[in-house]
Chain A
Amino acid sequence: MIEFHLDAHSGVAPYLQLIHQVRQALRLGVLSEGDQMPTVKDVVGRLAINPNTVLKAYRELEYEGLVAARPGIGTFVTRSLGDGSAAALRPLRQELRRWLTKARRTGLDDESIEALFVDTFRSSRQDDSEEDIA
């Protein structure tokens, strides 16, 4: 069973952190189809957070089709992430490695590389979402 943790200072909303952790677990194979998610009571008993937060996260996951709630029994994983299998990711991983090597050769240190990546990633997301609205 997955065990959640919360980073209170990350600036990311708690329910988003939970969703993120579930997705990670699915990707890495910690959670697979048919596994039971911890009950809301268990999660709040460990993390000391509002149950509504957990409910919100689980609802969102259910909306995305990743989990399904069976009343009286529990919440279960319905599919895994990773159409996303390791094979499909390999070319992306290789391309990324090549880019990193290039970036290092131009003399950028790790921090600058990370900053460049994050900035580009964010602004591309914004462009994407603006396109969506338009």
Chain B
Amino acid sequence: MTWLTWRQFRAQTLVTAAALAVLAIILVITGRQLSHTFDATVIGCRARGDCTAAINSFQNQDTQLQDLTKLLMYVVPAVIGIFWGAPLLARELETGTYLLAWTQGVTRGRWLAVKLVLTGVASVATAGLLTLMVTWWYSPLERVGAGRLTPGEFSQSGIVIIGYAAFAFSLGVAAGLLIRRTLPAMAVTLAIFVGVQLAMPFWIRPHLIAPLRTVSVVKAANSVANVGTGAGTGSRLLVGATTNMPGAWIYSQQVTTASGNTNLGPSPAQCGPNYGYNACQATIIRMHLRNVVVYQPASRYWAFQWYETAIYLAVALVLAGLCWWWVRRRVA
């Protein structure tokens, strides 16, 4: 059964190995270069003076490759689900070869177990290798970056991609089993996977760990606006304040009055057209406004990575287990 699984999967394995090898070569060459550039420009930039410019220019290195690696991290789990997971059962059911496979000398349970385990492990290994290579390549950039906890960065770094790949694979297998046609199964896998990936950062991940809440006094407003409230009762004040939390994932940020009221009241006269910028700032500072920030600190990055990976892996295992149970007991 091991031989058969390998033989059926041979083409995909070779293509993937080749692609990973090519990627590895590209990343190794450019990665070493990136590292050198980092050493040259950023390290010791403080001694030389302004770091901001150095960092900026460094971050603009290889932007195409940065985008490519991000794209890969998005796309590879989906590809695994669609091209490795969905056809695993769907192709056999569609072409009728399951009638041949299930009447040899191995039971259905063993047949599916071997296929699931070997192909599943291959999926996870591919994702693991990919993230290993990309993380290594990205590490200099990470050191000057703002951390990767924010939704845009989180799913392309660390170990979550392993969970995504496992989940996409199991999802594909389940879709193939239920739909029994390869192309529709691939489409459904893609649709559900994308749906879940969109839902995760907005609806699930924020609740994995309770966020922190901090309140600080507004010392400088970085934007002031007057918003008309209509009904001729004058205008309402809106103040924007800077939050300086590098690497944190900010859920919400709001400026409130000293007593916590989100309605800041009417716009003060000093912020009207007859007065200058400094007067307005001074007035606002005297209002003792508060900046309330709900956030996750950057230090929680790995906690989130582990939790999320664990969730995806658990779902993947449950789906795979259900498929195995279904095939043994119910199919055909």
| A and B, direct touch (CB closer than 8 Å) | no
- A residues with a Cβ closer than 8 A to B are none
